[in-house]
Structure 1
Amino acid sequence: MKTRRMFWLIAEKIENLIDSGLYPPGSRLPPERELAESFDVSRPTIREAIIALEVMQRVEVKTSSGVYVLENPKQKEQETLDKVSAFELTQARALVEGEAAALAAQSITAEELSALESTLNVMKSGVGAEAADREFHLIISKATKNHAILLAVENFWELRDTLPQVKNAYANVCSQSDKDRLLEHQAIYEALKGRDTQAARLAMHAHFNRLINALFDMSEAQALEEVRKKTTQTRDLYSLNHLLAKH
């Protein structure tokens, strides 16, 4: 137990040195002997620490070459997340949730239909509509009886609620379309209630298609506003009005 605690401690120290920039991605760690002397531990402890770092995908051991530092997988993941746009997320949701609705139409229970109807009533009231929206989609995902689909949809909502670029875009669009959203959810509900696979898929696609178009409209409006601001700034810069005002 003591040995295990020691090599994890050394692995953590080496990882901290990597994160500090002392050993950047692509660089080679010092030889095992030097690391052992530097941390005042045995070489077997260093070997165990390196194995731990390899499992964590922080280093790569190349036979007869040495131990090389890899890019931080968490940083790579974050860089990928930063590139996810509201358009990409909405398209992905449409593809997955369209099929989820079609599948759910075959297996949804009376209890799940009742739960969906309850979320519609909440949306109609206007109080707690956002939470009801999320619950509506998750109920359908659960109704598929497919845990992988449920996990995917839960992850989509996590991205929707945590990625700033997506969260802001959705907030601007959803706040202006409560009526449309309610009608679209009602159409999805009726298709599921009727056990109509194709209608459920189309209703879900229609819901996301309207959302994508709304996102484009918002993006265009923002772009036009940005152009207007730049034009105004340029006009002010080169305007001769201040000279004419003297006469």
Structure 2
Amino acid sequence: MKSRRMFWQIAEKIESLIKSGAYSPGSRLPPERELADTFQVSRPTIREAIIALEVMGLVEVKTSSGVYVLEPKVDQVEEEGREISAFELTQARALVEGEAAALAALSISDEELNSLKHTLEVMESGIGAEKADREFHLIISKATRNNAILLAVKKFWTLRDTLPQIQNAYANVCSQSDKDRLNEHKAIFNALKKKDAQAARAAMHSHFNRLINALFELNEKQALEEVRKKTSQTRDLYSLRHLVG
């Protein structure tokens, strides 16, 4: 089990390097021996990590040539998420991440709690808050010790980061509520620190409840603005101002 967790950790590190651009699409990953030295693990662990990355569709292994980074399948993500709204995504996140928080409260380590605390400090500084927000939720997902939950939460973030309709909705809401988001994250952290599963679930639900209500308010505001715009256009079309005076 320990070996399995190790290769998964290495796969995640390489995945992060790919997403950061350190290993660009089309480029070849360093040789197995070099990767083993870089991450201070055995070569069999590297081989297992590469297999995991290949299954995830991030790399392609070419016999006698090497391991190559694949182009991200953005089109596939957009096709799958074409009909998904910000409301649906937020509701799904609340359901899954609420239970993830409750589960993590029972198994989270001191090291993971320290990592969560660091993300709160980054968010409070206002520099790199969005990245810290993402990391906060992924740390909790990892702390569940359930790779299926971790994969689901990663998928949620992929949808959030790649679908224009969700990107726009979240950007408008999050930019207006940095303080609320920070306080909600602190409440989740405190519940996890106390190992209180029920409180962690409730705090996570409260976080997403505020977010979905903010999305509704934004939607209503945009709808009202659209009505006003159409009314103004109609008024201009039928106005008799040019006949009066």
Answer yes or no: is 1:131 the counterpart of 2:131. Answer: yes
Q: What corresponds to 2:70 in structure 1?
A: none
Structure-2 residue corresponding to 1:158: 158
Shift in Å, 1:75: 8.3
Q: Which amino acid in 1 is paired with 2:202?
A: L
**What residue number does 2:147 align with?**
147
Question: Structure 2 matches for 1:208-227, cutoff 5 A?
Answer: 208-227=208-227
SS of corresponding position for 2:135: helix
Residue 81 of structure 1: CA displacement?
1.3
What is the SS of the residue equivalent to 2:105?
helix
Which stretches of structure 1, 4 residues or longer, exceed 3 Å deviation after superposition?
Answer: 74-80
- Once the two structures are TM-superposed, the CA of residue 192 in structure 1 deviates from its matched residue by 0.2
Kindly report which structure 2 residues correspond to 1:36-51, keeping only aligned pairs within 5 A, or say none: none
| RMSD (CA atoms) | 1.4
The separation in 2 between residues aligned to 1:132 and 1:77, in whole angstroms, is: 23
Matches of 2:80 and 2:171, distance apart in 1: 22
TM-score when normalising by structure 1: 0.68
Distance 2:78 2:167 in 1: 16
Question: After the TM superposition, which residues 178-193 of structure 1 pair with which residues of structure 2 at under 5 Å, given as runs?
Answer: 178-193=178-193
Are 1:169 and 2:177 matched, yes or no? no
Matched, 1:114 2:150: no
Alpha-carbon distance in structure 2 between the residues aligned to 1:240 and 1:152: 58
Code of the residue aligned with 1:119 in structure 2: it is: T
Counterpart in the other structure of 2:235: 235
Displacement after TM superposition at 1:194 (Å): 0.4
C-alpha distance in structure 2 between counterparts of 1:178 and 1:86, whole Å: 18
Q: How far apart, in 1, do the equivalents of 2:138 and 2:132 lie?
A: 10
Deviation for aligned residue 1:76:
8.8
1:222-245 residue CA offsets vs partner (Å, 9 max, x unmatched): 000000000000011111111003
Cα distance, 1:111 vs structure 2: 0.2
| In structure 2, C-alpha distance between the alignment counterparts of 1:233 and 1:156, rounded to whole Å | 39
Q: Distance in 2 between matches of 1:85 and 1:75?
A: 17
What is the identity, as a one-letter code, of the residue corresponding to 2:160? R
2:144 partner letter: T
Deviates more, 1:77-86 or 1:169-178: 77-86
CA distance in 2, matches of 1:114, 1:79: 38
Per the TM alignment, residue 79 of structure 1 is displaced from its structure 2 partner at its CA by 4.2
- Structure 1 regions of 5+ residues with no counterpart? 1-73
1:117-163, CA deviations, whole angstroms, 9 ceiling, x for partnerless residues?
Answer: 00000000000000000000000000000000000000100000000
State the distance in 2 between where 1:125 and 1:77 align.
32
Contiguous gaps of at least 5 residues in structure 2: 1-73
1:189-242, Cα deviation, whole Å (9 max, x unpaired) = 000000001000000000000000000000000000000000000011111111
Tell me the secondary structure at the aligned position of residue 243 of structure 1: coil
Letter in 1 for 2:188: I
TM-score (norm 2): 0.68
In the comparison of the two structures, how many residue pairs are matched? 172
Decide whether the 8 Å contact of 2:188 with 2:203 is kept in 1.
Answer: yes
Q: Is the 8 A contact 2:112 2:143 kept in 1?
A: yes
